[in-house]
Amino acid sequence: MPARARPLSPHLQVYRWQISNTLSILHRMPGAALSLGLVLLIAWLAAVAAGESAYAGMRGLLASPVGIAALAGFTFAYFYHLLNGIRHLVWDTGRWFGRRERRASGWFVVAGAVALTAITWVAASHFGVSTHG
C-alpha cells in the first residue's frame, strides 16, 4: 500500500511565526547569556575585593567598546528575561492564556525590555562610561 502524504504536526519549517512562539523559544537564550553574565559579575566582585589595581584593570576591560557592547547586551537580556519571566509566572497561575492576552503581554515584554534598557543606560550616563571617565 503506497504511503499517503499525511499532514505532519506543526513543524518549524511550516510554522507561521508569531510573537507567542518566537518569545517562547527566545526565553532560554537570554537566560543562557545571563549565566555568562554571572561569571562576569563574579569576576567584577572578585576584582573589587582584590584591590585597586585589579579593579582598574576590570574597569578598563568593561569600558572598552567590546565591554560596553557586552554590558548593553546583558542589560537587555536581563530585562527581557525578567519581564518574560513574570509573564511565565502569571501563566503558571493559569492566567493570560487568551489569544489577545498572549500577544499583548508578548509585545509589552519586548517594548518594556527595550525601554528599561534605555532608561538604565541613561541613568548610567553620569558614570561617563563612553569617555572612560
Partner 1 sequence: MAERHSSSLRSPLGRVSGLGSAKDGTSHWWAQRLSAVALLPLTLWFVISLLALPDLSYATVHAWLARPLDAFLAALGVAVLARHSLLGTSVIVEDYVHGPAAKLLALVGLRFMHVLAGAAGIFALLRLTFGTP
Q: In the complex, which residues of this chain contact partner 1 (CB under 8 A)? A: 28, 31-32, 34-35, 38-39, 41-42, 45-46, 48-50, 52, 55-56, 59, 78, 82, 85-86, 89, 92, 120, 123-124, 126-127, 129, 133
Q: 105 with 97: CB under 8 angstroms?
A: no
Q: Which is nearer to partner 1, 6 or 54 (CB)?
A: 54
Q: 62 with 71: CB under 8 angstroms?
A: yes
Q: Which is nearer to partner 1, 86 or 111 (CB)?
A: 86
Q: What separation in angstroms does the CA of 111 have from each of 22, 30, 90, 117, 129?
A: 15, 16, 18, 10, 25
Q: How far is the CB of 108 from partner 1 (least distance, A)?
A: 17
Q: How far is the CB of 86 from partner 1 (least distance, A)?
A: 8
- Short-list 28, 37, 22, 19, CA closest to 85: 28
Q: Which is nearer to partner 1, 38 or 111 (CB)?
A: 38
Q: How far is the CB of 1 from partner 1 (least distance, A)?
A: 32
- CB under 8 Å to 102, separation ≥6 — which residues? 19, 20, 96
Q: Which is nearer to partner 1, 42 or 104 (CB)?
A: 42
Q: How far is the CB of 65 from partner 1 (least distance, A)?
A: 17
Q: From CA 74, how far away is CA 88, in angstroms rounded? A: 20
